[in-house]
Chain A
Amino acid sequence: MPRFAMVIDQERCVGCQSCTVACKSEWDVPNGFARTRVRQTGVVGSFPKLTTSFYVSQCNHCDRPTCVPACPTGATYQDKTGIVRVNRDLCIGCGACVAACPYGARYVNAKIGKVDKCDFCASRLENGLQPACVATCPAHAKVFGNLEDSSSEAFQLVYRQGAHRVETTQVAIGPNVYYAGKPEHTELLMAGFAPQLPRTIAPGKIWSSLLNKFVFLAVGATFLGQAVAFFRQLSVGEKQFED
């Protein structure tokens, strides 16, 4: 069984955000949101001796994901290859997983009322294609591969060249997006974008927020029913009158 991972080479990334656009196009991501983002780190130092770099973020498909147990409906799950996925049929858009992700990799897509995030382009992988962001990167800064395959470029980068995970002592859940970069660039990345402790939303809150929706729906349905009955009565009445 493959174990998929993404390696991002900070020394190659030029910050063009082509990956973000390719992903938006592939997955119809609404403006204001992204499944993969590029942010600048730094700038530190004083002119002209400066250090800066880029942090490319996306779902990390963690070994021990905090989003999976946070999901109240079982919509978020980890598949056999380690890819963390969202089953849209089960997702109720409550956002518990968004709060639970230490990397800010998830968002609620208001257009469809479901949670969305990177799935390593699972459907493209099934067709033998690379993830859209990898295929489009002009700098070969993103390498996708199977860590069970020692001949893969990803394996080489992770196990031979020291690409590392973005983890802290508080948040160590085995992310499968790795970063290769000079120590000063790693340092900047951690200073600006270290993972945050997962936030939890009490299950009661989820159900009550959901309940609200049901209440609105119920009230709405009742009103609609009454309206239909009213107009029907009117039209029936008219008919009777015409008769």
Chain B
Amino acid sequence: MNVLISENLYDNEYISQYATGMKELEEHVKQFPPEWAEPITEISAAQIRDTAHAMAEAKPAVAIHPGRHVTWYGDDTQRARAMAILTALLGAYGRKGGMFLPTKVKQGRIPLPSFPESERGRADGAGSKYPLATEESQGLTQGLVQATLTANPYPIKGWVVYGQSVLESIPQRQNTLKAIEQLEFMAVVDVLPVEQVNYADIVLPEATYLERYDPPHIVTTAKRPYVAVRQPAIEPLYESKPGWWIAKQMASRLGLSDYFPWKDPDDHLSRLIQPLGINLAELKSLGAVAFDGHPYIDDRTEADGPVFPTQSGKIELFSSVLKDLKFDPLPQFTAVEPPPQGYLRLIYGRAPMHSFSRSENNSWLNDLMPENQVWVHTQIAAKFGVQDGQRIILENQDGAKSLPIAVRATEAIRSDCAYMVHGFGAQGQGLTKAYKKGASDTQLITRVAIDPIMGATGMRVNFVRVLSADGERS
């Protein structure tokens, strides 16, 4: 941004038409020249300049992708904002080769009776403690664990867990386990016997995605918006039931049938897709239907609504919303704590053949990748005296230990980091293929950095050292 602005290489016309706060931004980024960024990023100032020049030349066809998992260090809103502002300077929102603007799809509504008002508000802090985290953004699971642990703002006595393996996917496992202990009741709806079913009072086995209908999948952020429908290929096996059936049955037994005013998935789906001008039979036979999209500013119509859904209707480079909440209205850099002596920063990610902690027990996918490895730089492996393929145990800064995991000594990682694929080291005995295979990153994430703006949980703030497989420090 410093280079683009100081050398006047940004999209002036676009910014003056669609953005506010350029003056403040210009002033703000003066303090961040490439020479300032060089020691932090380990990228030379010359290369940073070259990159800015290449982007300027290609603009607006530049896509700055924020990545799939963005909660790292607790300052993530500001990092994401910095990337978004760079995208704006390049004039790339709603321009060919840049970022698509979403196209609305008319959805049918099924009228529901109003929900009873709660005087106590949400327990997870979404909308209150974290005013920008809205109920629509699905709330904060981590906040719910905290509320359960502390009985603040009020005691929580029961959980119904659905669509998530709370012990494998939420950091600070120790807290989640404690919170579960404090519950009077826990029901788990799951496709697989993951670890949390061990703690459940009731387990409701859900049918897999090949055996059930789900609500229509409506994607508005693609070049052309589309609606896809999931339909069963076979009848549910054993005692498993589709999620919609479980929800509807629970509601009717609790006297809440009015909130599910549809007969079956056909009825539900037909009413939701009614305004789209396609019928259910058509959608079912095609599987997915795409509609005309208006991803570029030039194609927008009145019906598409405002180009930028902010208070001003423009890109707010300087955010008055953040200013009002007493946050930095322009992104500030916060330094990341380096690993202590003898420790490596634990980072984690995904392998293309596995999804979260859901697929490790699948026979075919397990065959492709039965366990994860811990990647460490070749020189670090040599320093710790561990061989490629050797099984080790990792211990984090709080003394949490991993299951044994094989070392992958590689050049493909920084020398201050250790990396593993998430989702392994399963603790559910029912997962016959995945049980205790590889190590779990979640088990080593005992510390988190909460983003004060959005309340999200930064998880790359844990450090590990290498113990030999018999638990000795190497």
- Determine if A20 and B368 form an interchain contact, defined as CB atoms under 8 angstroms apart: yes
Q: Is A46 an interface residue (CB 8 A)?
A: yes
What residues of chain B lie closer than 8 Å to A21, measured between beta carbons?
353, 364-365, 368
With A and B bound together, what is the CA distance between A166 and B365 in angstroms?
Answer: 28
Instruction: For A16, give the chain B residue with the smallest CB separation.
Output: B352
Q: Is B234 an interface residue (CB 8 A)?
A: no
- A24-32, A92-100, A152-160: which lies at the B interface? A24-32
With A and B bound together, what is the CA distance between A32 and B364 in angstroms?
Answer: 9
- Determine if B352 and A14 form an interchain contact, defined as CB atoms under 8 angstroms apart: yes
Instruction: For A30, give the chain B residue with the smallest CB separation.
Output: B367
Tell whether A32 pairs with B367 under 8 Å between CB atoms, given A16-B353, A47-B377.
yes
Q: Report B371-384 CB contacts with A as 1/0, cut-off 8 Å.
A: 00000010000000
Q: Is B35 an interface residue (CB 8 A)?
A: no
What residues of chain B lie closer than 8 Å to A17, measured between beta carbons?
352-353, 368
Q: Report B344-378 CB contacts with A as 1/0, cut-off 8 Å.
A: 00000000110000000001110110000000010
With A and B bound together, what is the CA distance between A100 and B270 in angstroms?
Answer: 58
- Determine if B364 and A43 form an interchain contact, defined as CB atoms under 8 angstroms apart: no
What residues of chain B lie closer than 8 Å to A52, measured between beta carbons?
412
- Determine if A47 and B368 form an interchain contact, defined as CB atoms under 8 angstroms apart: no
Q: Is A50 an interface residue (CB 8 A)?
A: yes
Q: Is A204 an interface residue (CB 8 A)?
A: no
Q: Is B411 an interface residue (CB 8 A)?
A: yes
Tell whether A43 pairs with B365 under 8 Å between CB atoms, given A14-B352, A17-B352, A17-B353.
no
Q: Report A3-32 CB contacts with B as 1/0, cut-off 8 Å.
A: 000000000001111001100110000011
Q: Is B336 an interface residue (CB 8 A)?
A: no
Please provide the chain A residues from 202 to 232 with a CB less than 8 Å away from any CB of chain B in the complex: none
In the A-B complex, list the 6 residue pairs whose CB atoms are closest, starting with the nearest: A16-B352, A31-B367, A47-B411, A43-B412, A17-B353, A21-B364
Q: Is B250 an interface residue (CB 8 A)?
A: no
With A and B bound together, what is the CA distance between A25 and B363 in angstroms?
Answer: 11
Q: Is A45 an interface residue (CB 8 A)?
A: yes
Q: Measured between C-beta atoms, what is the minimum distance from A42 to chain B in Å?
A: 9
- Determine if B413 and A47 form an interchain contact, defined as CB atoms under 8 angstroms apart: yes
30 A–B pairs (Cβ distance < 8 Å), ordered by A = A14-B352, A15-B352, A16-B352, A16-B353, A17-B352, A17-B353, A20-B368, A21-B353, A21-B364, A21-B365, A21-B368, A24-B364, A31-B363, A31-B364, A31-B367, A32-B367, A43-B410, A43-B411, A43-B412, A45-B411, A46-B411, A47-B377, A47-B411, A47-B412, A47-B413, A47-B414, A47-B415, A50-B411, A50-B412, A52-B412
A25, A31, A43, most chain B CB atoms within 10 A: A31
Q: Measured between C-beta atoms, what is the minimum distance from B338 to chain A in Å?
A: 18
With A and B bound together, what is the CA distance between A17 and B354 in angstroms?
Answer: 11
With A and B bound together, what is the CA distance between A21 and B365 in angstroms?
Answer: 8
Please provide the chain A residues from 71 to 93 with a CB less than 8 Å away from any CB of chain B in the complex: none
What residues of chain A lie closer than 8 Å to B411, measured between beta carbons?
43, 45-47, 50
What residues of chain B lie closer than 8 Å to A47, measured between beta carbons?
377, 411-415
Instruction: For B415, give the chain A residue with the smallest CB separation.
Output: A47
Q: Measured between C-beta atoms, what is the minimum distance from A36 to chain B in Å?
A: 12
- For chains A and B in complex, what number of residue pairs have CB atoms within 8 angstroms? 33
What residues of chain B lie closer than 8 Å to A20, measured between beta carbons?
368
Q: Report B166-205 CB contacts with A as 1/0, cut-off 8 Å.
A: 0000000000000000000000000000000000000000
What residues of chain A lie closer than 8 Å to B412, measured between beta carbons?
43, 47, 50, 52
Please provide the chain B residues from 365 to 421 with a CB less than 8 Å away from any CB of chain A in the complex: 365, 367-368, 377, 410-415
Contacts A31-B367, A47-B413 supplied; 17 other A-B pairs, CB < 8 Å: A16-B352, A17-B353, A17-B368, A20-B368, A21-B353, A21-B364, A21-B365, A21-B368, A31-B364, A32-B367, A43-B411, A47-B377, A47-B411, A47-B412, A47-B414, A47-B415, A52-B412
With A and B bound together, what is the CA distance between A15 and B410 in angstroms?
Answer: 18
Q: Report A37-65 CB contacts with B as 1/0, cut-off 8 Å.
A: 00000010111001010000000000000
Q: Measured between C-beta atoms, what is the minimum distance from A67 to chain B in Å?
A: 25
With A and B bound together, what is the CA distance between A52 and B364 in angstroms?
Answer: 25
With A and B bound together, what is the CA distance between A17 and B359 in angstroms?
Answer: 14
Q: Measured between C-beta atoms, what is the minimum distance from B48 to chain A in Å?
A: 15
What residues of chain B lie closer than 8 Å to A50, measured between beta carbons?
411-412
With A and B bound together, what is the CA distance between A41 and B157 in angstroms?
Answer: 53
Q: Measured between C-beta atoms, what is the minimum distance from A29 to chain B in Å?
A: 9
What residues of chain A lie closer than 8 Å to B365, measured between beta carbons?
21
Q: Measured between C-beta atoms, what is the minimum distance from A118 to chain B in Å?
A: 17
With A and B bound together, what is the CA distance between A85 and B121 in angstroms?
Answer: 68
Q: Measured between C-beta atoms, what is the minimum distance from A54 to chain B in Å?
A: 11
What residues of chain A lie closer than 8 Å to B377, measured between beta carbons?
47
With A and B bound together, what is the CA distance between A15 and B368 in angstroms?
Answer: 11
With A and B bound together, what is the CA distance between A52 and B411 in angstroms?
Answer: 11
Q: Measured between C-beta atoms, what is the minimum distance from B371 to chain A in Å?
A: 15
With A and B bound together, what is the CA distance between A50 and B412 in angstroms?
Answer: 7
What residues of chain B lie closer than 8 Å to A46, measured between beta carbons?
411
What residues of chain A lie closer than 8 Å to B410, measured between beta carbons?
43
What residues of chain B lie closer than 8 Å to A14, measured between beta carbons?
352
Instruction: For B365, give the chain A residue with the smallest CB separation.
Output: A21
Instruction: For B413, give the chain A residue with the smallest CB separation.
Output: A47
Q: Measured between C-beta atoms, what is the minimum distance from A38 to chain B in Å?
A: 9
Q: Measured between C-beta atoms, what is the minimum distance from B294 to chain A in Å?
A: 26
Instruction: For B367, give the chain A residue with the smallest CB separation.
Output: A31
Instruction: For B363, give the chain A residue with the smallest CB separation.
Output: A31
Instruction: For A43, give the chain B residue with the smallest CB separation.
Output: B412
Q: Measured between C-beta atoms, what is the minimum distance from B423 to chain A in Å?
A: 15
Q: Measured between C-beta atoms, what is the minimum distance from B413 to chain A in Å?
A: 7
What residues of chain B lie closer than 8 Å to A43, measured between beta carbons?
410-412
With A and B bound together, what is the CA distance between A21 and B367 in angstroms?
Answer: 10
Q: Measured between C-beta atoms, what is the minimum distance from A185 to chain B in Å?
A: 16
Q: Measured between C-beta atoms, what is the minimum distance from A52 to chain B in Å?
A: 7
Instruction: For A49, give the chain B residue with the smallest CB separation.
Output: B411
Instruction: For A45, give the chain B residue with the smallest CB separation.
Output: B411
